[in-house]
Structure 1
Amino acid sequence: MNWREHIHSDPAVLTGKPVVRGTRLAVDFLLELFASGWTSAQVLEGYPQLTPEALRAVFAFAAEAMHEESFYAVQLGAR
């Protein structure tokens, strides 16, 4: 999946957040919908400007971003 065909960033749109091309739907917003329990069908119904390919691109973008980042475990308090 070449997410670059579907995801882009423009400083004039949502201060440069990655969005689905041709929309103002940010990648993080769409991921939050899924994290909240939305299904692909619900997202596509609620946002008809999206395509199934664009949704796959959101996940491909997120996966690639995770590969490129370093994460550190932080203990928030004693157990």
Structure 2
Amino acid sequence: MHYQDRIISDYKILLGKPVIKGTRISVELILKKLSEGATVDELVSDYQVQKEDISAALNYVA
């Protein structure tokens, strides 16, 4: 999977921060929550994103 399919950066959305496509959930937020100990399942439940979105955010950073 290519992160470009799920992560976009548009200056009209969160001033151009990379976000999960179709949301205002930033890659930065995903990484912060994971570093604080949140699980992927918690993020999927709390933010209504898919597991593939989380993987794309991690691939984007890598």
TM-score, normalisation: structure 2: 0.96
What amino acid does structure 2 have at the position aligned with 1:51?
Q
**Structure 1 segments of 4 or more deviating over 6 A?**
none
Structure with the larger helix share: 2
Deviation for aligned residue 1:47: 1.0
**SS of 1:23's equivalent?**
coil
After superposition, the CA RMSD in angstroms is 0.6
Q: Please say which structure displays the higher CA radius of gyration.
A: 1
Structure of higher RCO (CA pairs closer than 8 Å, 6+ residues apart): 2
Partner of 1:38: 38
Query: Which runs of 5 or more structure 1 residues have no equivalent in the other structure?
Result: 64-79
Instruction: Report the count of equivalent residues.
Output: 62
1:2 equivalent in alignment to 2:19: no
